Amino acid sequence: LDTAMSPKITGELLKHLRQVMKNCKYFSEPIQAYIIPSGDAHQSEYIAPCDCRREFICGFNGSAGTAIVTEQHAAMWTDGRYFLQASQQMDNNWTLMKMGLKETPSQEDWLISVLPENSKVGVDPWIIAADQWKNMSKALSSAGHSLVAVQDNMIDVVWTDRPERPSTPLRTLGLEYTGMSWQDKITTLRAKMTERKISWFVATALDEIAWLFNLRGADIEYNPVFFAYSIIGMNTIRLFVDLKRLSHPTLRDHLQLDSPSRPELSIQTFPYESVYTELQAICAALSPKDKVWICEKASCALTQVIPKSHKAPIPYTPLCLAKAVKNATEIQGMKMAHCTSVFFKTLLAVLLTEISAADKAEELRSQQKDFVGLSFPTISSVGPNGAIIHYRPLPETNRTLTTNEIYLIDSGAQYVDGTTDVTRTMHFGTPSAFEKECFTNVLKGHIAVSAAIFPNGTKGHLLDSFARAALWESGLDYLHGTGHGVGCFLNVHEGPCGISYKTFADEPLEAGMIVSDEPGYYEDGCFGIRLENVVLVVPANPKYNYRNRGSLTFEPLTLVPIQVKMMNTELLTQKERDWVNEYHRKCREVVGAELERQDKKEALEWLIRETQPVV
Amino acid sequence: LDTAMSPKITGELLKHLRQVMKNCKYFSEPIQAYIIPSGDAHQSEYIAPCDCRREFICGFNGSAGTAIVTEQHAAMWTDGRYFLQASQQMDNNWTLMKMGLKETPSQEDWLISVLPENSKVGVDPWIIAADQWKNMSKALSSAGHSLVAVQDNMIDVVWTDRPERPSTPLRTLGLEYTGMSWQDKITTLRAKMTERKISWFVATALDEIAWLFNLRGADIEYNPVFFAYSIIGMNTIRLFVDLKRLSHPTLRDHLQLDSPSRPELSIQTFPYESVYTELQAICAALSPKDKVWICEKASCALTQVIPKSHKAPIPYTPLCLAKAVKNATEIQGMKMAHCTSVFFKTLLAVLLTEISAADKAEELRSQQKDFVGLSFPTISSVGPNGAIIHYRPLPETNRTLTTNEIYLIDSGAQYVDGTTDVTRTMHFGTPSAFEKECFTNVLKGHIAVSAAIFPNGTKGHLLDSFARAALWESGLDYLHGTGHGVGCFLNVHEGPCGISYKTFADEPLEAGMIVSDEPGYYEDGCFGIRLENVVLVVPANPKYNYRNRGSLTFEPLTLVPIQVKMMNTELLTQKERDWVNEYHRKCREVVGAELERQDKKEALEWLIRETQPVV
């Protein structure tokens, strides 16, 4: 394995943090353990530099992980995607806790096993979700310890050069991109609130707020969101955001800040930080029957403001569900955004490194119409680096693309009309029989999901095994889910649907939802294979219609050739070969037409060559 | 649809029950709603006549359902298997609540919608599980109502001719059947308790107690169990059972009641009813660190005896898991018990009705060695009756087997060495193209599960969709799970594993577990198709072994020919045809050898005819 990725040295930092944990300036008594979750106050998956506290303390910069520091120990929990990466980025002060393995203790069990009696375990209540707080608190209490909310974040105390919270310019999106005005979205939300007898709704997820107001920002790299909260009542709309951001006339006009069309659609604006006191004021004035909707995943700090008798926690908000089901305008935009497959062509032409290939991909992408930025850091990996599932090339790990090793690229971008995410695995020489066998099993899984027909109301987790059946038959598997929801010029990972063996927060698939289909296979120390398309849930019309439930299937939005050289076509069934040929026919038809329009002859020739039918 | 199945007339009964609900003799104040779950105090699925309270009050006699009576309404919730049956068995006083449909309210939501403010909802704490009590109580409290424990069961008050609780003779099972002495089972259980720092274990499930002590009874029809509780400490074993049952010397010897080999294996016996006071006494003497294991599904009454600080609730007990993984002796017994397929042969020979066919099947079964009784009421259904998923033929619905309609038989038996459960669907004339298409899709689903290879640690729910993929592709489906755990001379339905789209109480599959594989298709008013084998989880040896996890697959224990006439073999892949031929080869080899041994020529000829290879 490549050992060039050097770990962060954390000895002094941990010493300093442990002093802070004992210092009664920050909490009324010494605490014996401090939990550092990976999230921000909005439970974002990608976070701004100022919120990368877990990375700061342990060095591991993957998207998921929780660090816990006690007087004696320091441990960090992450999942199968990140085992290799985390072990390379953390020094010996840290124990890597591999989640999903039988022998790995849960955070609660581990704490209970190492803590002295009657310990205090601290956490910042703004960056722990209410449901996680509850579970952790219960487990610790049952063992005689207690979970305590530490208002000053202790990492921030030791983090002397912590960056500022970003406040990028806001961009308004018109009806031609959103298909629905923010006023109509508010009205729809209020109808749902009336139906469920809810008086107030507290929006805390950044992508939900961006979607609701048809605004975009750039506060978090790759995710076009901005730091804000919103509280919506039946007659009022409160928006909490850095007020400096609301000065531009286009924006004031978009939000009708100076001349609201109707009083109940008038937006009151408040500073970002005042959400806590404002929510307190709202809660103080509640009538006995008033109920307040807040997501179970919202921060413990905000959730605890709402008195128990008024709190109506929900696993996912109505905005989350509404946002997941794309309207016709959004679907059209997503299709346009995906008409960009040609950048893959250039990768084949020149000898590159992982980094220069990623840069080249970004450069080519940036020439596309309506390009805003990448939707996540490009994964560009050669040979053994491909087995690090969420690998990101760094100068010290950078490998050169050769004709001897498999190349895996997972790349996505934000366009004003949509968000993309695609993975292709290629060989520029002659792949081995084993590599082809693995690739073909991954392809079979990809097709099994993409071509599946299933009843309306089916949850994504029921499709996950389709992606694995062929791999399982050979004794192989991959340790990540098969697909995630994809936003429309929003987060590339979004809820509440997905395709995973994990069953939490998994709402039934509906026509208009957009998810990824991305099985893989990773041979540690050798290569990684993943094949990912973004797919749209569409109605299917099978022969029968049991109990009038209706059926669904997927339509691929991603249109990038799948390298035939990597396939062992003898392992494919006729149905699977037909699927590959039909998919390549569609790539030619849609992308080819665009290339002809742009008069890109060389690219068109490449496309035609790469989409020859398999027999 | 057949309307001969007449509903129970419940007007007077409900009137009487509502008087009792208002009578402060039974509860300190009037209650506005009374919940009648279908279970007994042991959360058994099949129950003794004295416990059939839900059937008594509403007429519906399916295995799953909950009735709720308020001052104005009476409603009964059941699942998709029973929609038709329940609508036929209940009169107009009752509203059928179809669980699993989007528009059907949950019991909690419905109660909240119909109850006046501050209502009391009563339930017998012995027949509601602790987890159900908790959920129901929480939901009702949040709406201003309260769930109250009514000690005298109110159905028993109005049920004047309620039967006695059974107390059948107990049968001891030697090592040649169990493969493990009860002493060794206790020792293994105590090792698990030590590992988890548990001082006491309360066993409440009847099959777990029967399995633990290597005893069988006949208290519940079809299930060889007996009414008992057991509480196991590190040095004591308490058995609560009707003491009259323990007088036989064989039994006293088996349990070493008069001369225990070691003091910690000495069994103290108590009357069945004294479990409550005895558990109270144990709890009163607990040390601060003592923890008591009790299943989350145990009765609310017993669970609430254990103080919260000592209670360690578990979703399934160590006995449940140990019982599910069969040892070599049990597997051998199950194989012997399944060598009985020949009774199907006779059904083809003579013209019968649903009832006479079921009787014939039982008669033929009863001639087998070690036969004890049926393992569930035989489902013997012709044409439209087959669409009633848990149909049981009655004189007024009895149809004749003809050459025009599909015949479905689902039959199982208890033998001293094992428990069987098999479903076959047959046509004695010429099935229609649609019937064959449906059958073939069901067969494809059955094979997809039976032949699946999957990693060690896979939960059954991840295999459920394999059984549906072919049906889904045609727009068809079935509204029940695909498989259930099967006991060894124990309950034909047992936890903690199964194959279902429902994910609760679903432990990973392990080699030695035994489940059913039974997809189906039901065309209301026309026919029912189901194809069920009992299958054993066995290690598989695919080409590779990812991360040394190992792989599993299934070995069919049921060996009964699948009617080739019902198949549209053109719809089968070569792999599926190979599976059918290999399965039929095994039927011939194993059952054929037995028939030769018994010199049953005619049956052997039938077997050979029914197992001709398909091409």
> Three-state secondary structure along A186-240?
HHHHHHHHHHCCCCEEEECCHHHHHHHCCEECCCECCECCCCCEEEEECCCEEEE
What is the SS3 assignment for A53? Answer: helix
> Is residue B273 within 8 Å of B165, Cβ to Cβ?
no
Q: For residue A595, give the DSSP letter.
A: H
Please report residues of A whose CB lies closer than 8 A to that of B469: 452, 466
Contacts of A469 in chain B (CB under 8 A): 452, 466
pLDDT score, position B2? 40
What CA–CA distance (Å, rounded) separates B380 from A98? 52
Confidence grade of residue A131 (pLDDT, cut at 50, 70, 90):
confident
Q: A501–B472: do the CB atoms touch at under 8 Å? A: no
In this predicted model, what pLDDT tens digit does every residue of A372-416 receive, in sequence order? 999 999 999 999 999 988 788 888 889 998 899 999 999 999 999
Euclidean distance between CA atoms B566 and B433, whole angstroms: 9
Residue B454 touches partner A, C-beta closer than 8 Å: yes
Q: Do domains B10-158 and B171-321 have the same CATH topology?
A: yes
Which residues in chain A touch residue B473, judged by CB atoms under 8 angstroms apart? 453, 542
Q: What is the pLDDT of residue A343?
A: 58
Residue B73's Cβ-count burial label (10 Å; 0-12, 13-18, 19+) is middle
- Angle between helical axes of B433-450 and B464-473 (0-180°, round to 10): 150
What pLDDT, on a 0 to 100 scale, did the predictor assign at position B338? 87
The minimum CA-CA distance between A491 and chain B, rounded to whole Å, is 28
Nearest-CA distance A536 → chain B (Å): 18
Contact B421, B526 (CB under 8 A): no
* Residue B313 touches partner A, C-beta closer than 8 Å: no
Angstrom distance (rounded) from CA A72 to CA A15: 10
Contacts of A194 (CB under 8 A, 6+ apart): A234
Neighboring chain A residues of B468 at a CB cutoff of 8 Å: 454
| A455–B472 CB contact, under 8 Å | yes
Q: Model-level pTM?
A: 0.90
- Find where tokens 């899984």 sit: A445
To the nearest whole Å, the CA of A157 is away from the closest chain B CA by 37
Chain A nearest-CA distance from B41, in A, is 28
The residues near B512 (Cβ < 8 Å, ≥ 6 apart) are B325, B326, B327, B331, B536, B537
Contact assessment for residue A314 and residue A293, using Cβ atoms and an 8 Å cutoff: yes
**Domain range summary for chain B, segments of one domain joined by +:** 10-158, 171-321, 328-611
pLDDT at residue number B6: 86
B501 touches chain A (CB under 8 A): yes
The answer to whether the beta carbons of residues A83 and A96 sit under 8 Å apart is yes
CB under 8 Å to A22, separation ≥6 — which residues? Answer: A30, A31
Alpha-carbon span B600 to B561, nearest angstrom: 17
Nearest to B454 by CA among B511, B533, B502, B514: B511
- pLDDT (tens digit, 9 = 90+) per residue, A289-339? 999 999 999 999 999 999 999 999 998 999 999 999 999 999 999 999 988
Whether A206 and A44 have beta carbons less than 8 Å apart is answered as: yes
* Mean residue pLDDT across chain A: 93
Find out whether the peptide bond into B496 is cis, omega within 30 degrees of 0.
Answer: yes
Cα(first)–Cα(last) distance of chain B, in Å?
Answer: 38
Does A457 reach chain B within 8 Å, measured CB to CB? yes
What 3 state SS string does A479-505 have? CCCCEEECCCCCCCCEEEEEECCCCCC
Burial of A183 (0-12, 13-18, 19+ CB in 10 A): middle
A474 touches chain B (CB under 8 A): yes
Q: What is the pLDDT of residues A238-297, one digit of tens each?
A: 999 999 999 999 999 999 999 998 999 999 999 999 999 999 999 999 999 999 999 999
Q: Is the pLDDT assigned to residue A30 strictly greater than 80? A: yes
Burial of A162 (0-12, 13-18, 19+ CB in 10 A): middle
Whole-angstrom distance, CA of residue A226 vs CA of residue A220:
7
Cβ–Cβ gap B474/A544 under 8 Å: yes
d(CA B118, CA A412): 55
- Count CB atoms within 10 A of the CB of residue B401: 24
Question: B475 and A573: CB-CB below 8 Å?
Answer: no
| Closest chain A residue to the Cα of B453, Cα to Cα | A473
Q: Given a cut of 80, is residue A110 above it in pLDDT?
A: yes
Testing the interface with B: which of A109, A198, A473 to mutate, by most B Cβ within 10 A?
A473
B542 close contact with A: CB closer than 8 A = yes
The domain A171-321 is placed in CATH, from the list 3.40.350.10, 3.20.20.150, 1.10.1740.10, 1.10.150.120, at 3.40.350.10
- By the 10 Å C-beta count (0-12 exposed, 13-18 middle, 19+ buried), B12 is classed as exposed
Structure tokens at B24: 């402060």
Selecting from 3.40.50.12160, 3.40.350.10, 3.40.190.10, 1.20.1730.10, what CATH number does the domain B10-158 have? 3.40.350.10
Closest approach of chain A CAs to the CA of B91, in angstroms? 25
Contact A542 B466 (CB under 8 A): no
pLDDT of residue A13: 97
* pLDDT higher than 60, residue A346: no
Asked whether the beta carbons of residue A475 and residue B573 sit closer than 8 angstroms, the reply is no
Nearby residues of A432 by Cβ (< 8 Å), 6 or more positions away: none
Question: What is the distance in angstroms between the Cα of A502 and the nearest Cα belonging to chain B?
Answer: 10
| % residues pLDDT > 90 (chain A) | 83
Say if the Cβ atoms of B542 and A463 lie within 8 Å. Answer: no
For residue B524, the chain A residue with the least C-alpha distance is A547
> B459, B503, B546, B576: which to substitute to probe chain A, counting the most A Cβ within 10 Å?
B546
Q: Does B455 touch chain A (CB under 8 A)?
A: yes
| CATH topology for the A328-611 domain | Creatine Amidinohydrolase (3.90.230)
Residue spans of chain B under pLDDT 50: 1-4
Q: Quote the percentage of chain A above a pLDDT of 70.
A: 97
Confidence of residue A63 (pLDDT cuts 50, 70, 90): confident
Check CB contact of B463 with chain A, cutoff 8 Å: yes
B381 closest CA partner among B392, B368, B371: B392
**How far is it, in rounded angstroms, from Cα A419 to Cα B169?**
70
ipTM: 0.89
What would the mean pLDDT of A80-93 be, rounded to a whole number? 92
Chain B residues close to A463, C-beta within 8 Å? 465
Search chain A and give the residue with CA nearest B459: A501
Which of B289, B290, B473 is best to mutate for the A interface (most A CBs within 10 A)? Answer: B473
User: Is residue A505's pLDDT more than 80?
Assistant: no
Is there a contact between B153 and B51 (Cβ–Cβ < 8 Å)?
no
Q: Which residue of B has its CA nearest to A508?
A: B102
Identify the CA nearest to A83 among candidates A453, A479, A460.
A479
| Probe site for chain B from A472, A503, A522 (most B CB atoms < 10 A) | A472
Contact A462 B501 (CB under 8 A): yes
Residue B134's Cβ-count burial label (10 Å; 0-12, 13-18, 19+) is middle
